[in-house]
Amino acid sequence: MSRYDNLRDQVCKLHAELPANDLVAWTSGNISARVPGEDAMVIKPSGVRYPDLTPDSMVVVGFDGEVIEGELSPSSDTATHLYIYRHRQNVSGVVHTHSPYATAWAAVGEPIPCILTAMADEFGGAIPLGPFARIGSEEIGKGVVGTLSGQRSPAVLMRSHGVFTVGETAKDAVKAAVMVEDVARTVYLARQLGQVKPLGQDDVDALHDRYLSEYGQ
């Protein structure tokens, strides 16, 4: 038994939500979770298909980048996740996907405008666009943190790359990733029908405040 077993199990189970919601293909995408009380995270191994993931295949990585526990190599996006955790103390979950509609917005270099009440609820405004950065270093993490600074959105579209979402838990970040793809598809369809008009800031603020204070149990 290891003190990381429960979190490795949770992160493994959450990965099933990505293919179930059509957010990833083959081995792309990943989820991580901060280890409570430690400078470490649990993350998906690199290049392993989703049906083959097990709790034991999840990798525990210290904030210095060293593997603490796990037999496999961690995700190629490990440096990005670590940078986010080191610079956003309120974040305990990070998700990366290449979900098709949201990534299409990233490919054309456009933020997703806030034209839906669901967007105002969940994201508090438009879903912002971050800069292009090469995979494998901290540059993507810097782009994510810099773009989300001062934003209410838990999601960012990284130009020509894909989606990153953050949350107070890994489950929250997964929910944000699911919702990003949902609104990205709806806004795309709306633009095929005609011109779209962003919601007014007062309406966005009121909807977001109501969602945070009144929605759910």
Please report the pLDDT score of residue 168 as a whole number: 98
Angle at the Cα of 151 (from 199 to 148), degrees rounded to 5? 130
Q: How high is the pLDDT of residue 161? A: 98
Q: How far apart are CA 100 and CA 181, in angstroms?
A: 8
User: In which order are the strands placed within the sheet that holds 30-34?
Assistant: 67-69, 59-62, 40-43, 30-34, 93-97, 162-167, 155-158, 129-130
Residues 6+ apart with CB under 8 A from 170: 10, 11, 14, 31, 32, 33, 92, 93, 94, 95
Query: How many percent of the chain have pLDDT more than 90?
Result: 99
Q: What is the pLDDT of residues 57-102, one digit of tens each?
A: 999 999 999 999 999 999 999 999 999 999 999 999 999 999 999 9
Res 116: pLDDT: 98
- Distance between CA atoms of residues 125 and 152, nearest Å: 7
Checking if the pLDDT of 210 tops 90, the result is yes
pLDDT at 217 over 90: no
What pLDDT is attached to residue 1?
A: 85
Burial group, residue 114, by CB count within 10 angstroms (0-12, 13-18, 19+): buried
What confidence tens digit (pLDDT) does each residue in 123-177 have?
Answer: 999 999 999 999 989 999 999 999 999 999 999 999 999 999 999 999 999 999 9
Q: What is the mean pLDDT of the chain?
A: 98
